[in-house]
A = this chain, B = another copy of it.
């Protein structure tokens, strides 16, 4: 694709040679001599980075980078332009619509004619798969579950019975939606299982990473709100309700019956215990732990147990100096004792 065509495609202004041929899109450090890349902002600090890149062209914000001897395209939003180019250059090859002879589809399941069902997929009784949805090998869809339109279920994903998935949902390989919640009562020294008969609702535009687990509710539904993005190896327990536009990063866990508002961020390896409520727009820091039955008002939190981020920063700065503090205190104690001794001897 010629630079002039790329500038047109992006609605940007080209500074440089319109005839240069671009064959790839790449990050600024990985880029080769026929690649296009981007800089978030034109900045003198980044000039060296830009100059050092092998890329044939750099997408920059508005005003082009003066002092840079490279082709540039100036746009309003370089990051978004980069995403559009990545999508343009990497349109995924897609198998033709239809059901593989090597798949197993129950008689009462309804598969849209525009869906793709690959080999070794199993679809249970009464399940429904919407138009444009793509089920990779090894996917299991349980009885009565519904997958909306334009969803992608990557290899070896398990969607148990009674799960409702909206449109444009991606679930990465190995994830399990709708396994039993973890609930028992103890009677006479035995753990008796509380049957987990609820379901899971995944709303539109959700993305779920690889090997993540989202349990079904005891009764009612576990809910993942519209546009929420969940990373790999995350645990979402039974009856959790996550709002819209949230971000849950890898290896984080949310325990039973906790609720997250909208646009909440739970960072990597954080743990939210059970029966917690977290208000809209809050941020739970990486590795932190929110205690059970707490209600967090809007804010940033860190530490285990989690506290407001500012308080945690202060506590951490002191923690590192604890041994020193301890010495100071022992010193104070000695000096105080000395004073007391003198005063007593004077009397």
Residue in contact with A311 in the complex, picked from B138, B311, B320, B328, CB distance below 8 Å:
B320
Q: In angstroms, how far is the closest chain B Cβ from the Cβ of A22?
A: 14
On whether the beta carbons of A318 and B328 are closer than 8 Å, the reply is no
Q: Mark A255-279, 1 if CB is under 8 A from B, else 0.
A: 1000000000000110101000000
Q: Is there contact, CB below 8 Å, between B140 and A137?
A: yes
Tell me the A61-103 residues at the B interface (CB within 8 Å).
77, 79-80, 83, 86-87, 89-90, 93, 100, 102
A160 touches B173 (CB 8 A): yes
Instruction: Pick from B158, B194, B205, B213: contact of A156, CB below 8 A.
Output: B158
Chain B: which residue is nearest A192 at the CB level?
A: B83
Contacts A232-B179, A232-B215, A255-B250: A286 and B289 contacting too (C-beta < 8 A)? yes
- Give the size of the chain A interface in residues (CB under 8 angstroms): 114
Residue of chain B at shortest CB distance from A30: B220
Least distance between A336 CB and chain B CB atoms (Å): 6
Neighbour of A268 across the interface among B156, B174, B271, CB < 8 A: B271
* Contact yes or no, B90 A231, CB < 8 A: no
CA gap between A26 and B154 in the complex, in Å: 33
List A residues 271-300 near B (Cβ within 8 Å). 271, 273, 286-287, 289
At the interface with chain B, which of A7-15, A41-49, A114-122? A114-122
A/B interface sample: 26 pairs, CB < 8 A: A30-B217, A90-B195, A104-B137, A119-B122, A137-B140, A138-B138, A154-B160, A155-B158, A155-B160, A156-B156, A174-B211, A176-B232, A189-B245, A191-B247, A210-B215, A211-B212, A211-B233, A251-B253, A287-B304, A315-B322, A318-B322, A318-B325, A329-B332, A335-B340, A336-B339, A339-B343
